[in-house]
Amino acid sequence: MLKIAQLVRIKLSNDEIDHYSKELTMLDWIHDTLLQVNTEGISPMRYGSIDKDIHVRDDVINSQNIKEEILSNTKPEHGYFVVPKDLLESLKRHVRSEVEKYVDKRVEEVKDEAVTYIINKVLNNMVGNEPLNELKIDKPKEIVQVDDDGLTQNQKVIKALFIGKTLIGKYKRKVYEVTVNNEGKFIYNGEKYNSPSTVGTRITGKSCNGWDFFKILLKIIWRSKLSAIAIIDFGSQFTQLIARQVRGMGVYCEIFPNNISFETISKFNGFILSGGPQSVHDGCSETSRVVHEIIKLNEATNVPILGICYGQQLICHYFGAKVKESFKQEFGRTKIKMLKESPIIKDTWDVNSEVDVLMNHADSVDTIPQGFTVIASGVINQTIAMIVNEQRKIYCTQFHPEVKPTTNGSKLLSNFLGIANCERDWTMKSFIEKQKEKIKNVVGEKKVIAAVSGGVDSSVAAALTHKAIGKQLNCIFIDTGLLRKNQTIAMLKEIPINYVDKSNLFLSRLKGITDPEEKRKIIGNAFIEVFEAEAKKIGDVDFLMQGTIYSDVVESGHASDNTSTIKSHHNVGGLPEKMNLKLVEPLRYLFKDEVRLLGKEIGLSDEIIFQHPFPGPGLAVRIISEVDEEKVRILQEVDEIYINTMKNYDLYDKIWQAFAVLLPIKTVGVMGDGRTYGYVCALRAVTSSDGMTADAFPFEDKDQHSLVFWDFLQNVGSIIINNVSGVNRVVYDLTSKPPATIEWE
């Protein structure tokens, strides 16, 4: 126990050590048991027998309660007891519970390291396939002792010991980190190796065997099996683009607000600090706290850090470098010059090359911290554009690699993931299994009521939730009176759906309302009110499922406390403060294209998956100003003509989203021999991948090098005016996002 106390750096008195030793006598029993060598003809016990039966001498059992447990679950063979695998696992769980009971519970790392040491104490007596005490060599017992033969010949040893874990150690004052993936391969600097000796040779630069490798890497960090990156959001509108790119490279990531507790993020393989609108001179203690904790973790473990824009400034400020305030802001595309090589720009940019990047900052770094090197600077104003500390694996950019104006920025992010030893194993298949388990754990045996609209998001969310909890899910389709003309819901057949017509309620609540934010909140309140009423009819309902996705959360300002609210989504910003149902949002952290991939994986039809997005508040946010029944009728007819004509031109599947907007103005027109005075209708069609940015669809046939723009728009405009009473003018919206949003309200 003294060794455990030393390992976890906690001070124990002699009385405490004695107390712990008495309480944890089973540890000594396990240790002594595994030291025994069979002298009666049975093959020596191997560690690989964690998946087999373990033979132990009955005369070395000195813990009465453990002995009784074994006697009740095993039978003697040749003077030995055969201990099943599940019993050994039970003993290990008991070890952990004892550690958690007696070791300082305030520090999670203390418990993890203590358990690591205890389990190592059990395992460190085996080298390869032979008991340690049969080898005529002197090796320390403080770390796991497995040589090349043991690792290459017995994959179960690797799986039990190292998979999903990171080995960290120092060699010649430099910290090294090696991760073992699900295949039992050693990942070092983004490269895969079959044996520890090869990695040891890479680290030391000289011939190395497996034992040398483990002498270098003395500390085991127990981490999640799923490689992941934590993105700390300081309020940048680009933060979600970072996440989208990282996930697109097959690595799972999560976005956390900058006031997140360090314990929540301490197990991630790497950290990205986003940009943001603040200044390091604002003196935000909460912001400083999480950055300080991350850098301290880096100091101990060399966990990689990438600081972008404001993230670079925070890191430099932490190390005491000067960050100057600037009255001349730098926004938009600019050029930087690459000055030196670095693993972060491997196969990305050449030294002395000039590269287009996107800058979006006011403050800038004036001096660099000790140990850092400038590897890129601005061509025009010599801004410190990129600095690195290779030894600490800290990388900083003043520009934004996550956005398109930056040439090959995605490659820089990919290099960072390699440096962080991230496995490219993030898939929708893995997400489904994880979310199903999460939904089951949250919901338990309770009933869930689901809001389904027939759109992509609610359909996929309902299908996923149904896979997790089956008949506990009760789906309800509410006709708000604000839907497309003749809108139907083509859901999975095995999911029963209840139809509720509340069009009069919604239209009456919206009477006289012109402000778009107020519309959304009224609709959100009405939705919840109806669901609560329906839940009472079903009885004993505790949860409400919604198809909220990441762009909804972002645009409502809920992703980070510093993100400006663009507009409230009815699923997130319009919820009443006192809601009587708990929320289940299985898609909350997925982008739209990920939702479609998920729907495909689940088995939904293309008709559902690839339909254009339709806002939760429906046509209420496509009717500018007050909503009434007549305006809804007009817009439904215009929208139907627009979409059907688009399908006739084979354009529908090429467009991310298309819709019509009814404007609150009327213009003079001439039809036949008479004067008309009708509404103006705007048509919108955009291209996008995730809804975070979008461009107006050009209606250009690139294969034929011809424009269908005028042909299509003139045709559809003519059909609308001739068939929809109340409209006499049609216009097309050419605005991109940003500066505009996709929807008008």
To the query of whether residue 400 is one of the catalytic residues in this protein, the response is: yes
- The DSSP annotation for 414-463 comes to HHHHHHTT------HHHHHHHHHHHHHHHHTT-EEEEEE-SSHHHHHHHH
Burial class (CB in 10 A: 0-12, 13-18, 19+), 710: exposed
SS3 646: helix
Strand arrangement of the beta sheet that strand 252-257 belongs to: 252-257, 228-233, 270-273, 305-308, 394-397, 384-389, 373-378, 330-338, 354-361
* Rounded Cα distance, 645 and 639, in Å: 10
459 assigned ligand-binding residue = yes
- The DSSP annotation for 128-180 comes to TTEEGGGS-----SSS----HHHHHH-HHHHHHHTTTEEEEEEETTEEEEEEE
The answer to whether the CB of 27 falls within 8 A of the CB of 118 is yes
Residue 286's H or E segment, with its range, is helix 285-301
Backbone angles phi, psi at 548, to 5 degrees: -60, 130
Which residue from 57, 114, 116 is spatially nearest to 81, judged by alpha carbons?
Answer: 57
Its sign, for the CA torsion 299, 300, 302, 303, is negative
364 assigned ligand-binding residue = no
SS3 303: coil
| 693 contacts: CB under 8 Å, gap ≥ 6 | 241, 736, 737, 738
- HSE-up of 137 (CA within 13 Å, CB side)? 12
Which residue from 701, 688, 667 is spatially nearest to 737, judged by alpha carbons?
Answer: 688
Burial class (CB in 10 A: 0-12, 13-18, 19+), 294: buried
Among candidate residues 208, 309, 316, 422, the one labeled active-site is: 309
584 assigned ligand-binding residue = no
458 assigned ligand-binding residue = yes
CA 132 to chain centre: 43
378 assigned ligand-binding residue = no
To the query of whether residue 601 is one of the catalytic residues in this protein, the response is: no
The answer to whether the CB of 142 falls within 8 A of the CB of 219 is no
SS3 670: strand
Among candidate residues 330, 402, 640, 745, the one labeled active-site is: 402
Strand 270-273 to 228-233 pairing: parallel
SS3 100: helix
Among candidate residues 317, 361, 400, 570, the one labeled active-site is: 400
Which residue from 116, 158, 120, 154 is spatially nearest to 140, judged by alpha carbons?
Answer: 120
| 622 contacts: CB under 8 Å, gap ≥ 6 | 615, 635, 639, 659, 660, 661, 662, 743, 744, 745
627 assigned ligand-binding residue = no
Per the rule left: phi > 0, alpha: psi between -120 and 50, beta: everything else, 449 is: beta
Backbone angles phi, psi at 28, to 5 degrees: -65, -35
* Stated length of the chain: 745
668 assigned ligand-binding residue = no
* Rounded Cα distance, 599 and 610, in Å: 10
Q: Which residue numbers belong to the known binding site for ATP?
A: 453-459
Annotated binding site: 453-459
Which residues form the catalytic set?
A: 309, 400, 402
